[in-house]
Structure 1
Amino acid sequence: MKRIFQILCAFAVITSGLSPAIAAEKPEIFVQLGHTDFSGLGSSVVFSHAGKYLSSAGSSGAIKLWEVETGREIKTLLGHSDNLTSQAFSHDDRYLLSVSLDKTIKLWDVSTGKEIRTFIGHKNLVKFVVFSPDGKTAASLDSKEIKLWDIKTGREIKSFQGNKHFGEDFIAISSMIFSPDNKYLVSISSGGKIVAWEVSSGARIVQIDRFELFNATSPDFLGFSSDGKVIIRGMMEIIFVDLFAKKAKIIPIKSSVIDVSRDEKYVLCGMGDFELFDLNTGKKVWDLQRPPSKDGTGLFRASFSPDNKFVLLYGSENILKLYDRTTGNELRSFKSEVKSPSRAVAFSKDGEYAVSRFIDVEAKESVINLWNLHKASLDGVINETKQLEQIMRMLKEVEKSKDEEVYKKAEKLREESEYYNYASGTIFHDKNNNKSYRMDSPFRTNTIIFYEAPMDKIGITIWDKKREINKLSAHTAEITAYTLSDKYALTGSKDKTIKLFEFPSGRYIRTFTGHLGEITGLTFSPDEKYILSASTDGTTRLWDISTGKEIAQFISFTDGEWVVMTPEGYFNTSPNGAKHLNVRVGNNVYSVDNFYEKFFNPVYVASVLQGKKVEAVVADIRKGILTPPDVKITSPEPNSSFSTDTVTITVSAKDTGGGIDEIRLYHNGKAIGEDTRGVKIVPKPVPASSKQGGSERIKTYTVALVDGLNTFRATAFSKDRTESNPHELMVKLTAASKEVNLYILAVGINKYKNPALNLNYAEPDARGIVNFFRQKGGLFKKVTVIEIYDEKATRETIISKLKQLQNTQPQDAVLIYLAGHGESIGDKWYFIPHELTYPEREKDVKTKGISSDEFSGYIRNITAQKMLVLIDACKSGAVLVAFRGFEDRKALSQLSRSTGVHIIAASSKDQFAAEVKELGHGVFTYTLLEGLKGKAAGKGETVTVRKLMGYIEEKLPDITKKYKQEAQFPVVDSKGMDFPLVIVK
C-alpha cells in the first residue's frame, strides 16, 4: 500500500510532569487532546466577542481557554465537578461565566484563569447563562425560573417565574438576550414564544405567541438591530421583531469523516480541516484549512462528486462548499435556510445536482434541498416531514433510479411511522412498537439497511428489493461501510470496536480493537484488503482485513504537525509533531518525543505502509520501557539575577528504575558539550540507596550567560535511551550588552579526488552564501568567514575548522554551510570529504567520512548559541531506495535534537539540485538566497531563521518541480532559539 493518510483533531496539547513509573506496566500511546471526551463539548464551546479566544469544556468540568489565532492552549480552569452546559464571555472579554450540571455558576478572570466567585441558588439543572452588555448583571435559566445576579457581589437580584396559572415552565426556552440598554431581558422558546421582562422590576411586559409570527424550530437570537428590533434566526428564516408593536419582518435566508473518490484514486480525510491524498502514491495532493463557521466547528463532512472532479464539504450549521478536487480551490458556497447542520449529502449520477438533508429529530421536522451545482442555486425545497411522495419524486429525478421496490418499501414504512425523513442516513419513528430507525444508503442498487433502536442494542436489518435478507447482531453500530463488490460490511460503535461481516449473509468474521474512543468513520481500500477507521481518540487507523491487525495509525493537528506510528511504536513525524502524542505508563504520562532516539524511524514506517518486507523489529514499545530518570535543576534559584556573566548550574538526575545513561543541559536551546569553551562540568556521583532505582547523579556546569534572560533546560536518559521530561529554569544577566558577531563556515566541493564524483554548483553555491552575508551582514558587528573548497575540503581540515568555532562567544551566531556529497548508513548521515574516493563502500564512508554523530559532538562544543546548519548534499553513486530522504531525515533530525541547533538540508540524487543553469545556483541555494533577500520576511523587516525555514519548506518543492519535474522536500528541524539573519527593509 503506497499511501499515507492523516486526520486532524482540534487543539492538541502536551502534558508535562513526571513521577517514577513502573517499567513493567504496558505503555499506552494516545493523543492528548484538549478534551478527551467530546460528549461534553456540545453547547459548552464559545468564542469571545473579539474572536481572540475560544473556551471549551469537557465532561469532567474542566474548561480550557485557547488562543484562536495560533491554536495554543492558554489556561485550564478547574473548579466544576461535572459536565458544563453553557458558557458566556463578558462583552469586554475580561470575564467568563460557566454553568455546570453540578447546578453552580462560576465567574472566571480570563487574564489569570482564576475563579472569582460561585453563584449558588438554582435547585434545578441550569441550562445556560448570559451577560448583560454593561457586564454588571448575569441571567441564568433552569427549567423553572430565570435568575438575575449581581456580577460584582454574586448576590441574587431577583427571580422570574413561569406562569403557573397556564402550567408554564421554562424548559422550552432556547435562548435569552439582554437589550443593548440593559433594561430588558428577552427569551424565546423552541415553540417560538417570545417574552420580554423589565430587569429593574421583573415585570413581564411583552409576550408574543409564535404562531402570530413565524414557523420556526429551536430559534436563536442573533442580536438587536440598530433600530431596536430583536433579530431571531429561525429554521428557514431571519426574523426582525418589534417587541412593543408585536410585529415581525420575516426574511427567508439561503444560506473524522472519510470519503473515497469514485475512481478509487483519492481519499479525503479530516475532522474540521481536510487533506486530500493520492491513494497510489500516498502523497498529499492538497490540504484545506477548516472553513470558518459561527459555531467554531467548521465543515467536518465531505463527499466526492460522481465524476471525481469536485468535493462537497458540509456538516456545520447550514453551509455547503464546493471545491475543485485537483487544486483544492473553493468554487462555490451554498447556504441553506435551515439552522441545523447538514446531516447528509448525495449527488445525482450526472453530477449536476446535490441533495442535502437538514433534520431536527426532536421537533420531527426535516428539510431537503436540491442544489444546482453549476449555477450555485437552490432549485427545490421540501420542508414538510411527511411529504414522502414529493421527496421520492425529487430523489428519483436526481438519481433517475429504477429501484422502485426500494421506495415502495419506504412508502410502507412511512405509513406505519409518526414521521419519516427520507435521505441518506434517514431517521424515523415507528409509533406501533415505539422504536426509532435509521435507514442507510438509500441509493444502493441492491439492498437497503435499517438500524433499529434503542441505541444500546441496535439491530441491523438487510433488505433486498422485496424481502428481509438477514439481521446482524451488532453493537451500537452508528457507522457503517461496504465494499464496492458488496462482499463485506463494517460496523463501528461507541464501544470503540469495529466488526466485519460477510455481506449480505450477515456472517460475523472478526472484531478490530485498538481505538480508545468512539468510531466516527469507516471505509474500505479499493482492493478490499484494508480498512481505514476514524475515532474520537484523534487517530485514523489502517487495518489488515485478513488478519485483523492494525498496520499504522495517523494523526494530524491543527498547527499543521502530524505523526504516523506503527503498533510497535516506530513513528515518522513532522518537525514538531511528536510533541502532541503521549505515552502513558501506569499513572505517568510521557511525550512520544521522549522516545525519539529509539523509535523515530521513517524508513520502517514507509516500508510498512508500502507493504514491503521489513527487518525484524528490534524494539517494541508495547513490551515496556525502562523509565527515564527524574531530572531537576537544583541551583541556582529560579528567576535569579546576576551582574556577572558566569554562573554555576547544578543538575540532579534520580534513577526511577531504568538507570541513568546520560544527562544533558541546554542553554537557550543549544546543547552544552563536554568540551565547550568556558564550560566546566563536574560529575558528582551519589551512592545508591537501599531501594532499587534510588541512586542519584549530579552534574555541575560553569556557564557563561548572555545578555537578558537565559533559559536552561535539563533532560536525562535511561539505559534504553528513553528521555525524561525536561526541567527548565530561567535566570537573568543584568550586565551591559555585548557585541554580536557572525561566524560562517562554508564548505563546497566541486572537484573530488575521484572525478566521477565531481559536481557543478557546490563550490559556487557556498561562495554565494558567503558573499551574501559579506554584503548584508549589517545585523552583526563583525562577519568572520572560514571557506574550504575542493581539494582543501579534507576530513582533517573540516574538523579543524569546526573546532576553531569553539572560540566564539555565547551571544554570537554561527552559520555552517556544507555542499557536496552525502550518504546515509543506518541511523547515521555522512558528509563525503574531497579524498573519499569510493562512497559506495560502507567501510570507507564510516572511516573517512564525517558522521552526523561527529558533527553533533563538535557542534555541542561550539560556544555560540545561535546556530544554523545548511546542507545541500547529493547522493553519490549509491542506488536510491523508494524512501529517498527518509534515511537522511532521521540522522539529521537527531543531529538537530542532540545539539539544539537549526538544520535545513536538501538531499538529492546525483546532481538533481545542482544542474539548473538559468538559476545560477543549485535550486536549494537559489531558494535560500531568494528567502534571505527578503521573500522570507513576510510583512516584517527581518528574515529570521524560522521564517527562512518556513519559506524553504513551502517554496523548494514548487521550484524543484518546476525545473526538474520532481518535487524535492527539505529536512527542516528547529530546536534552537530563533534569531534574525538579515534586515531587508
Structure 2
Amino acid sequence: MCKNHIKPFFLKPILFVLILTFSSCGLMEKDNGKTEDISPTEIFIQGVGLNVQRVAFNSDGSRLITSGNKGTTIWDMQAKKELINLYNNDAHSSAVSKSGRYLITFNPADHGLIKICDLTTFKIHSLRIFDKEESGYGRYISGITISDDEKYFALYSNKIMVFDLESLSQINHIELKSRHYLFDYRKQGLSFLPGTNDLLSISYDISFSEPDVVTEEGDLNLNQIDHYSVNIWDIKSKEPKIEIDLNCNFILSYALSPDNKKLALLLINKELRIIDIINRTVNNHRIEVERDIDAISYTNDGSILFANRKGIIGRYYSDSKKHIIINTDIRSRFRAYSCSDLAIANDGENIVFCSGYSTLLLYNVADNETTLLTDEAKNLFGAYYDSGTLVNILTSDKIFHQNGPSFNASEVKIKQLLSYVCADQLMIENIFSGEKQIFDLNLARTLFSGVIEENEEYYAITRDGKYGFKSLQQGENDNILAVYDMENTYSNPVLLEKSGGYGINIKVFNSNRKAIIAGFATDLLTIWDLQTGEIIDTLDIQSGNARAFDFIDDSKCLVGVRGIVRLYDMNSRNIIKSYIPKGYDGRYKDITKISFSPDKKYFATGDTDGLVTIWSFDNENELVSFKTHKDWITFLTFSPDGKNIISGSYSGKSLVISEVTTGKDIARFVAFADGEWIVITPKGYFNASPNGAKYLNVRVGNQVYSIDNFHEKYFNPAYVASVLQGKRI
C-alpha cells in the first residue's frame, strides 16, 4: 500500500548572492579556539578491544568508520587496515570525506559540539552547533555529510545546516517541512549527491502514522504507514530542485544509483520503492526472501545488493524482479547469532559486519572473500609480580612469564572463581597432569592445591586455603551460600542464613571467623559469623553499589561506594575516614577494584569508566587520576617497589603499566589467540614473539603500512626490558 505525491519539477534560475556567516547564539564559536593535536606518526596494534557499535562507509567506500565506547576508528579499505583511532571520540553521527582527509563526528556527551579532524594538518577542531543548555531538551545532531570536493559539510539539528569546511563558518540553513524530522535509522537521511554540491534529504512527518506504530501485543506494526518527503536541495538558494512525497511503511535504509538517477528505499516488510529522480516516478518492488533485509546498495551493473544482520547476502534485479542469494562463509564466522550492525559501501563492493562488538568482518563481493579486520587478542584475567620485578600475565589458556625482555608461555586452563568479572581468585589447571590450584592475584600465591571436581564451583577461598564458599540450592528457586572445609569437602557445610543473591565479592577476617560479602542483587554489605552461619551486622554504605572492598588488617576495611572510598572500623562498624575525589558533585562511576601499595601507605582504585586513581591514606583527596582504559577496571597491581601499577579492563584486552606518580603509560602488553604477544611503549619501541609483529601497523599521515619497513627502527628488546624493569630512560 503506497500513495505517491510528486510535485512538478521546475528548474530555478541560479542566483549569485553574498552568503552571510551566521554568528548568533554563539553557534559559530570554535569552542574558544580549542584544538587538539594528532600525532603525524603512530605505531599501534590493529583493532584491539574496540567494542564497535556503529559502522559506516564514506561516499566512495575507500574509508570505513567504526564507533563505540572505545572511540571512533577510521579504516583504509584498500589496505584493509586500521588508520587511526580517536580514543575519546565516540561518534553517534559521523562522516569521512571522499579523500579521507576529514573526519567529522558528534557525541551527545559533548553537548552541542562537533569535532572536525584534519588528517593533513593533524588537528582536531571543536565547533559549537548549539548551546550546552539545549542538549538537555532533546537537541541532537545527525546526518553529518561532506561534499566530494571537500568544500562543504552539512548536518541536521532541528534544521539542515551547511558549513564551509575550510573556515568552519555556517553559510546557510534549510528548513524541512513543518513537523518533519530527518530520517535517522541504519543510514542517516542526509547526503551530498556524489560529484555535486546538492543535498539529498529524507524526512518523515512525526505527527502522521496510521495505524499505531506498535500493536496491542507490543510488536512492531508492519502495517504502519508513515508520511515521507524526499528532497534534493540547492544549498545556495535553499530551494528544492526535486520534491517527492510518499506514504509507505517504515523505511529501514536507502541507496542511490551511481549515476544519481535512481533512489531505492528499503521498507520494513522487504519491499522496495524505486524512485526515478529524473522522471519523478515511483515503482513498487518486493524481494521475496525468507529473512528480513537490513541494508541495500546499488552496484555498478545496476543491480541492488542486499544483506541482513544474520549474514545473508544477495542481489536483486529490478528489471526482471528476481533475486539471487550469494553463498558466503560470513555466518560461520559470527561470534553471536546475528551482528549488531552492518553497512554496505555505496559502490556495492564491500560489506562490513560487526559481530559481538569486538569482531569486524569485511566481505568483498567481487572476490567472494571475507577478511577479519579486528584483533584476535585474548581477554586478560589478571597479572602479578613474582619475586623481584618480573611480571606474570594470565589469559584463559596461558600464563606469560617475563624472562628478561621476553615472555615465555605456559599452557594451562584458567577460569575465574566468581562470575564477577573483577575476581581476585582464579582456578588454574595443569593441562597435562590435571592438577588444579586456586591462585590469589592480590597475594600472588597459591591458596589451595588438590582435587577439585569438575562440577565444583567455588565463589572464593579463604586466604589460608582452609575454607571455600559455594552456592547450595535450597528448594526449586532458592540458593544459599555454604562454607566448606577444603580438606574434607564431604563434611556438612555451614549455611549462611539469608545469603541468597550474595557472593559477588567475599573477604574473610577475624581469623576466619567472620566474612563480609557483597550481593549480586543487593547493594548491601553483610557480615556473617562463619561458625554459626548467622548474620552479625550490615555495613551502612548509604545506598551505594559497594562491590569493591578489601582489608588493610582485620580491623580496617576500605569500601568503594558511589565514587567515594570509605575506611571502616570493623569492630564498631563506623566510618573512620572518607576519601573523596576533587570536585566531586555527586555524579560518579562505580568503583570496581581496590589495591594496596606494598608499604600500605597508598592505595589505588579503578572504576567502571576505566579511570585509575592513586590515593594516600593520609589525604582525603586523590593524588593523581589517569585513564588508560575505556571500561571496567578488572585488575590492579602495584609493582614491588610501589613505583608502577598494572591495570587491565573488561574488554580492553591489554595490560597497561603506568607510573604511579604521573599516570603516564610505560608499556602495554597484548596476547593473541595464536599464542603471539607484543609489548609496546608509548614511543613505539616494541618487543614481540617470533610472529607477533604481524599485528603492528604504522600510520604516517593518512596512510597506513605494516611494520615491515619500520621493523629495524622500532624493534628494541633492550629498551623494552629496561622499561619493564622500571628504569627511566
TM-score (norm 2): 0.39
Higher helix share: 1
TM-score (norm 1): 0.30
Higher strand share: 2
- RCO (CA 8 Å, sep 6+): is it higher in 1 or 2? 2
